[in-house]
């Protein structure tokens, strides 16, 4: 549950970049279509692409707000 909260916070921070919204909506549509079709492999692949987009968000936030992260 703690990990989901962290991902949710990252998602909210990434949504502040409005130009990415159409891309994120398409991601969700692709995931939903795969789930509705019962295609687990496609749903997982689409989910991984979607979650992978957080890498850019994490990098940007760590540069601009390093205090959001715990020391390694």
pLDDT digits (tens, 9 = 90+) for 13-56: 666 666 778 888 999 999 999 999 999 999 999 999 998 988 88
Contacts of 23 (CB under 8 A, 6+ apart): 53
Hey, is 9 helix, strand or coil?
Answer: helix
Hey, is 61 helix, strand or coil?
Answer: helix
CA distance 36 to 40: 10
pLDDT of residue 66: 75
Q: Tell me which H or E stretch contains 60.
A: helix 54-64
């Amino acid at each position: 549950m703690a990990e989901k909260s962290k991902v949710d916070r990252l998602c909210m921070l990434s949504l502040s970049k409005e130009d990415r919204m159409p891309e994120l909506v398409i991601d969700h549509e692709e995931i939903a279509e795969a789930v509705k079709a019962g295609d687990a492999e496609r749903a997982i692949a689409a989910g991984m692409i979607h979650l992978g987009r957080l890498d850019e968000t994490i990098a940007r936030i760590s540069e601009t707000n390093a205090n959001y992260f715990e020391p390694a």
